[in-house]
Structure formats: structure tokens, C-alpha cells
Structure 1
């Protein structure tokens, strides 16, 4: 009996229910490494970068609305042996930001039956086209370019938002993987301990030191742990598959995480998250100022405001003025100093039109205003949702800290109960059944502690995610 108690004490009393596994740092995977791999190689991260490139291309396209345009018109008519006219008139038009268009060209008209309004021979002109009402303060070209600039910046913001969500999903999978691995190794250690115990009890039975019922008791305990070990191993493998979905190689191939790669031994060391902002007031301020989802609403509202200004132009009459200064020959400035602009050598035109009821303009303008109101309300709701989410996660964080402290004490108490039961067993006041019962409670406490710690770190990352900082 004395030898049995000594060995039993070695098997139970020296075991702190924390399996110690020798690890090679090259075979471990940390949370920050997962984040780096996802940022660098995940297809969704690459797609978000492509969207930024598309926004840049759209910006280049929008700038094309202000490119100078070179054109030419060539015409000739000959009928019944008569040369009616020959016309050659190249022109260059240069759009400017404020809706004014500068143009210049040369003309050469020859023929026997020219339109009397045409200037025969070589002539040149330089002039401007000016919108006096509609399109003066805003036109489609300016609206498209302004919105393209906004959407280019919006693309960066949306990329941050995509990465923020993607990295949080990766962290969910990672901490589930960490929890599953530690549950599996804990149960693996329990199986090894109970195998040694079963061997010893069998030898004690052969020596007449133990009853046969103790062998059954020990075997039942071992089989229970073996069953749980198999369950946790499957959970660990499945968690590895879930985590593998976020891991890709540099060549764009999916990476299957092998079982030989495991979490680090110091996975529950808070030093890994020491640089994270966990202060509630600071997180709320950061969210208000920098959260990509709220910033996206800001950019969309700016784009909608430009659209509203453009739609307002439809409420204005179209009043366009075009003026050309004319010169003989191909020098458009040859007669500039000969007379005032409306005295000689000029051509102008004025066009005015306005819909009588402005129905289309009023309808489009109202729709633009309603879109802005709708987006403002959505932004307010999103701001409130984010604030509530941050407060909830912060409450969870504080609660989990306290729960972990209590669970550490709980585990320590159960370990002391196991040792106390050993003493009673040594004095003949207890049984192997009671020792197993105490042991099971201690293991359950250790399992709960693993779950709480994994959840604690997941909440830390969730806090960063809810504030838009995971990118």
C-alpha cells in the first residue's frame, strides 16, 4: 500500500494539469504571423488592392474630360462641272475647369458658289464658349472628375474595411484553433498519466495490494479520457482546416496547415497584445474619427453633394454664349489690335432655352436631396451600432479578466482538493474513485480556463476590429 501511495502521489501531486510540450519556434504559429500572411497573400486582400487600381483607372478616365480635343472638317461639292465649294477647317478646343471652353481654328473656303455667310479664302479665329447659367458652377465633366477623386480615396477606405473584416475572421479561426489544440494536448496528457496509473494498479493487483475493482475504476477513467482525446483531436483538425482557409502561399496556392504546426507555448502571454488600445474612451474617439465604415459614409456624402449640385443645374435655364475673333490668313491674332472685340472682325452667338415646368429638374434635384438624407441617417445608425459594439466587447473584456482570475483560483482549489484526497487515501479514508472525481473536477476547471483565455484574446482582437484598427 505504501509503494502504491508514493507512485500515485508522483502521478497526481506533481502534475499541475498544464501539459508541458517541447516546441520548436519554427513549428509554431502566432496570431501576428497569421495577420501578416493574410494581408500579404489572401485573395480577398489582393482583390481589395485591385479595386484601388480600378478606382485609379476611373480617375484617369474622368480627367480625360478635360483633355484638349483636336478635330477637322473637310468637305467638297462638285456638281455638273461646277466646283461649288471646297472647305478645310481644323480646330482645337481646350476645356477649362470653370465650364469655359477656349477654341481656335483656321478655315479655307474656295469655290464658285459659296454660302454668302462664309469668308472666302484663308481665315483664322480664336474664341471662347461660356455658359451663363446652366453648367456655369457645375457641369458633368467637373462632377465626374470630383467624384472620381473621392471614389479613389474611398477605395483606400473600403480596402481597409475589407481587411478589417477579413483579419477578424482569421482571428476567430486562429483562437478557436489555439483553444482546440490546448484542449487536445491537455487530454493527451491525461491519457498518458492514466495509462501509467492503470499499469501500476494492475501490478498492485498482482501483488495483492489492490482490489480488482480499482483496476476497473482506473480503466473506466482512462477510457473516458481516450474518448475525449479523440473528440478534441477531431476538433483540433477541423479548426486547423478552418484556419487553413485564410492561409495562402506567395504563389497564390491554398496552404493546408499540418498538425505539426501548433500554437506557441506562451500563447496566453498578454505581451503579444501590449500595443493594442484597450481604453474605452480612446477606442470610441478613434472609431468616430478613423473607422473606415464611417469614413466611407463621409466620402459617399461628399459624392452625393456633388451630384446634388449637378442636379441643381437642371433647374437653371441654358444660356450659352460663344464669341470668335476673326482674322484674315492663318494668324488668328493678326487683327486683335485693329478694333475692339465688338467693333469689327468678330462673330458671336447666344443660345437660350428653358423647360416651361422644370419637371425633370425638380424631380432629379429632390431625389439627390433624399439620397443625402438617407445616407446621413444610415451613417448615424452605423455610428451608434459601432459604439454599442465597442462597449459590449469592452464589457466582455473586463468580465473575462475577472473570470480568468476566479478560474485560476478555482483551478488551484481543485488541485489542492486532489492533493488532500491523496492524503486521505494514504490514511485509508478515501478511495481511487474519489481521487478520480477530484481529478475530473480539476481537469474541467483547466478546460474552462483554456476556453476563457482563448475567448479573452479573441475579444481583444474584436475590440480592435470594432474600432476599425485591424488593417
Structure 2
């Protein structure tokens, strides 16, 4: 795919009335093309450019975006934050790890020499805060009567049971709240990675089109310089023949110096754009890759692909990672608020356990035991719990206000991006019309000069005006493609689709 054809013209030393090859880079497109949106990089085949097959291929936008996605430091930093959040989730899951406790006690000297061995395994569960436990204990020796509960048969006692909180820590407890917050935190971190990728892709696309535009501006400045150089040769011949005043040659040499200065300035801006683009084009080690001017595409791509269609606001918001991240953070605060509210309730824990002794010993120890217990804890003032509850409620309201603003801001960003794209398309049409007219006027003035009906001053003015019009056309095209990238990023869509580089 290629833009409109250029008019061919001879190089330096040719007739001053003819136009250089690159002086007509674009023709006005049909009006329907302005609804298009192309975010793919393009260049003609090597044979059409007249370069050898060993020349580096034109740098495509997709190559820049692929490098950005793989190696851009801010995206890598967001990935590391997501990995840290994943480790926090693993730590929260560890709150439900089983716990084994063992204890050994001996009283070898005294009126009641005895030993006591005990081991307990506890397993917290996510089911209403219940904790199941089991264990084994053994008491051996001369156990005092007032410690009769320590006495067991020869093989010890097996014990199992469950503790269930009925009110406080029942619907939600610290373990489950921490786990849910960690899950939501990991989700928010994943959305942060997506947001970092979108931002980096949009910025990379902007820097890419700035670089392409800088290359076109340098080419325009070079074409303008070639006009003056070719004319200088012809004017010098006429001065030597005596049919032209030397002042005309001096004026052209002034224009030549001015245009050489413009080329130097354009080269500086091209190098600056290349350096900024190199931040997004990196090698396998993540180091910036110098962007060579030889990799500049020949022109901007055509405007022939439709922009993203309008869609319901909810569909767009569902894709936006910044909105999704705030939704996850709001959910985190709601979990904490639910836990804080529950902590104001009284603690009522019920424990049910059964025990059975094994081995030889007194008959009275052989019966199965069943234990039922209730623990009640009622704070009187409860100011700590009430304070935490009020604090978390305020945090929920704060994040929900931020979320509401972010949704509204997302809608505004999309609307503004669409308006910017439409305006840029209109500007391209107008700039192309202006550039075509300015080139035609410059060509006509050169023809008049050849026939002696014009002056070098008018020719220089016409050429400078034509060059400025072409620069405005380049600026309009760069603005259009940057607006297209901004719109797709605002819609949380890929900034560019992958195509064959140099296509």
C-alpha cells in the first residue's frame, strides 16, 4: 500500500523550470479516505526505492511496539509489581496452612515425678471461620490428683474437634479478609500492567510518527536546497555570459545559505526524534537501539482504514485497565470495611471435641469423652472497632469517588480523541489542497522565470511558501496518526495491528 504518486523531475544541474523528484510527495485524496485510520507502518519495495537488497528495511510501527511491549522499563516495572502482588497472595494463602505444635514436660525430681507429651495439629478453614484440630497426648508417672486430667492410658489419648465462631469472625475474619484483599490486589496489579502497556504503546506510536515527520521535513528542506543548488549552476553560467546581473547570483547564494541552514536544523530535529524513539526500540538485553535514518519509511501510509466504531459506554469502560484497577481497589476497601464492621460484634466461639484413650490402665479412662465449650467476649466501649469501621467506610467512599471520576474522565478522553481525529482528518485535506496549490504556483513561477517574465525574488518566495505548505501537510499527517493512536489507547484497544514490515 502506498500514498499517491509523485511527479518525477531531474536532479541538480537540470533546467531551473523543472521540479525535483520529491517535490510532489502527496496528491489530495478522495474525501472518503478521511474516515480511515491506519496505524500500520509502510514502505515501498526495495526495487522501487532503488536501493540494494542489503539495505536495512524501513522501521515499522509494529516493530517498535513489539520491542516496547517486551523491553520497555516501565512495563517491566509494572510486571514486577504484579509479581510482588502474586507473592502477597501466596503469603495470604499461607494463613490457612496447617500448624503442628508439640510439647514435652518432665518432672523427674519431687513428690510427683511424671512426664507429659503433647502434639496438636490445627487447620484453619475458610468456612465461617471454623478451625478443626486433632492431637495426641500422654501422661505417665505419679500425676497429682489435682492434675487428674493429665492422666492417660499407656498409649495416650487421641483428641479431635472443631471451633466455630458464631458472630465475630464468623462471616469474615482476618485470614479471609487478608486473602480476599490479596486476590484483589493481584488483580489490580495485573490491570496496572495493562495500563502501563497501553501508555507505553501510545507514547511509542507518538514518537514513531514524530520521527517519520522529522524525516519528511528534512526531505522537504533537502528538496528546497536542491532547487537553489541547481539554479545556482544555471545562474553562474548566465552571469559568465553577461546576460544576467551578478546581483541575481548573489541573491541565490543567499537563499542557498539559508536553505542549507534549514537542512542543518531539520537534521538536528531528526536526530532528536530518533533519540527519543530509541527509548522504545530496544534489543534483547533491553538497551536502546540507535534508529538509523536509512530506516525511515518513504512516506506516511494512506488513510484508508475505518476508525474504531462507536460503542456503548459500558463496553469501553469494561476494557479500560485504569477503571478496572480502581474497581479492584474499591473492592479491597469494601472487604476491609466488612471486616471492621464485623469486629464490633461480640465474640461467641463454640468448640466441640471428642477424646479417646488407648492402651492399658485404669478402667475409668477407657470411656470416650465429649466436650462442648462456649467462649463469650463482649467489649464494653468498643471504641477501637468503631474507629476502624468509620475509617474504612471513609476509605470506601474515597475510592468510589475516584472511580466515578475515572469513569467520567475515560468517557471524556474517548470523546476528545474522536474529535481530535476528525479535526486532524479535515486538516490533512486542507493541508494537501494548500500544498498542491503552492507547488503548482512555484512550478509556474519557475516557468515564468525561464521565459523572463518573473524574478528570482518571486521564485524564492514561491518555493519557500510551497515548502512551508508541505511541512504543514506533514504536520497534519503526523497529528492524524498520533490522534489515531490516542483514540485506540483511550478505547483500550491495541494501538496497531501487526502487519508485514515494509509492506
Q: TM-score, normalised by structure 2?
A: 0.84
1:269 to 298, 302, 327: 302
- RCO comparison, higher one (Cα < 8 Å, 6+): 2
CA apart distance, 1:192 = 2.2
CA gap of 1:330–1:357, structure 2 versus 1, over 3 A, is farther
1:181 and 2:215 correspond: yes
For the residues of structure 2 that align with 1:149 and 1:27, how far apart are their CA atoms? Answer: 46
1:322 is matched with which residue: 326, 351, 355? Answer: 351
**Cα distance change of structure 1 residues 108 and 17 upon mapping to structure 2, 3 Å threshold:** same
The secondary structure found in structure 2 opposite 1:117 is helix
Counterpart position of 1:358: 382
Name the CA distance, whole Å, in 1 between partners of 2:260 and 2:100.
Answer: 83
TM-score (norm 1): 0.89
> Which residues of structure 1 form unaligned runs of 5+?
none
Aligned with 1:239 (options 269, 273, 284): 273
Residue 23 of structure 2 corresponds to which residue in structure 1? Answer: 16
Distance 1:283 1:420, change over 3 A: farther
Match of 1:293 in 2: 322
1:412-459 CA distance string (max 9 Å, x none): 111222233234334533212111111111111001100110111011
More deviation, 307-316/206-215: 206-215
State the secondary structure of the residue aligned to 2:159: strand
Q: Does 1:222 align with 2:222?
A: no
| 1:250 to 1:426, Cα distance in 2 relative to 1, 3 A | closer
Do the aligned residues in 2 keep the contact of 1:277 with 1:283 (CA within 8 Å)?
A: no
Q: Identify if the C-alpha distance between structure 1 residues 146 and 105 changes in structure 2 by more than 3 Å, giving closer, same or farther.
A: same
- Structure 2 residue 440 is the aligned partner of structure 1 residue 440: no
Counterpart in 2 of 1:257?
A: 291
**Which whole-Å CA distance do the structure 1 matches of 2:400 and 2:194 have between them?**
21
Residue deviations 1:139-197, cap 9 Å, x none?
11111112222222222211001111122222222222111111112111221232121
Provide the residue aligned with 1:95 in structure 2: 124
Check the 8 A contact 2:85/2:186 in 1, yes or no. yes
The aligned residue for residue 197 of structure 2 is: 163
- Structure 2 residue 138 is the aligned partner of structure 1 residue 108: yes
Aligned-partner Cα distance in 1 for 2:443–2:381: 93
- The aligned counterpart of 2:9 is none
Alignment correspondent of 1:375: 399
* 8 Å contact from structure 2 (residues 356, 369) kept in 1: yes
**1:247-295: CA deviation from partner (whole Å, max 9, x where unpaired):** 2211233322233332x11433235xx3x7533x328454322100001
Q: Please, what is the CA RMSD of the aligned residues?
A: 2.5
Q: Deviations over 1:57-107 (max 9, x none)?
A: 222221111122222111112224x45321111121122212111111111
CA distance in 2, matches of 1:131, 1:314: 12
Matching of residue 305 in structure 1 with residue 334 in structure 2: yes
Match for residue 15 of structure 2? 7
CA contact (8 A) 2:216 2:299 kept: no
- Choose 411-420 or 233-242, whichever is displaced more: 411-420
Q: Are 1:69 and 1:94, in contact at CA under 8 Å, matched by a contact in 2?
A: yes
Partner Cα distance (2:135, 2:238) in 1? 113
* Residues 18 and 446 in structure 2, CA contact (< 8 A), matched pair in contact too: no
Q: Indicate whether 1:345 and 2:369 are aligned.
A: yes
Return the match for 1:70 from 73, 94, 100: 100
> For residues 192 and 330 of structure 1, what CA distance do their matches in structure 2 show?
109
CA distance in 1, matches of 2:456, 2:161: 106
Question: d(CA) in 2 for partners of 1:413 and 1:192?
Answer: 20
**In the superposition, relative to structure 1, how do residues 243 and 22 fare at CA in structure 2: closer, same or farther (>3 Å)?**
farther
Contact map agreement 2:326 2:399 (CA 8 A) in 1 = yes
Of 115-124 and 367-376, deviating more is 115-124
* 1:119 equivalent in alignment to 2:151: yes
Equivalence for 1:450: 474
| Superposition deviation, residue 207 in structure 1 | 1.7
CA contact (8 A) 1:106 1:330 kept: no
